[in-house]
Amino acid sequence: MLRQLDINKVDFIKVDIEGYKYHAFKGAEKLLLAENAPDILFEFVDWAEDAAHDCKAGAAQQLLLKYGYTLYTWSSNNELTLMDKIQTAGNALIYATKNVK
């Protein structure tokens, strides 16, 4: 689709597809594995991922880590905190990037 629209680079993706982020990230594997892969912002909600077909809570985060991303929680006061483990319960706004300095 990107080629059809003559879009050569994607810098940022905001994903809001209740529970099906894993499937979206899997479908965008080529884009997300690229050296210049986009940053991603998405909300994790445990019950939504658990309810998605063939998915468990934390699966989208695990896949992004496999793709080489670093994950941060984004707090309500706009602070990023490095995630030391995959979140599998509750909810969080997560920022994923490969641009770690």
Q: How far apart, in whole angstroms, are the C-alpha atoms of residue 42 and residue 64?
A: 12
Tell me whether residue 1 is in a domain.
Answer: no
Strand order in the sheet with 39-45: 12-15, 39-45, 91-97, 70-74, 80-82
Q: How far apart, in whole angstroms, are the C-alpha atoms of residue 101 and residue 97?
A: 11
Tell me whether residue 74 is in a domain.
Answer: yes
Tell me whether residue 37 is in a domain.
Answer: yes
Tell me whether residue 67 is in a domain.
Answer: yes
Q: How far apart, in whole angstroms, are the C-alpha atoms of residue 61 and residue 63?
A: 5
Checking if the pLDDT of 2 tops 80, the result is: no
Tell me whether residue 4 is in a domain.
Answer: no
Tell me whether residue 36 is in a domain.
Answer: yes
Tell me whether residue 89 is in a domain.
Answer: yes
For 9-90, where are the E strands, in sequence order? Answer: 12-15, 39-45, 70-74, 80-82
Checking if the pLDDT of 15 tops 80, the result is: yes
Interval 42-79: pLDDT, tens: 999 999 988 888 889 999 999 999 999 999 999 889 99
Tell me whether residue 47 is in a domain.
Answer: yes
pTM for the structure as a whole? 0.88
Domain that holds residue 47: 12-97
Please give the tally of structural domains in the chain: 1
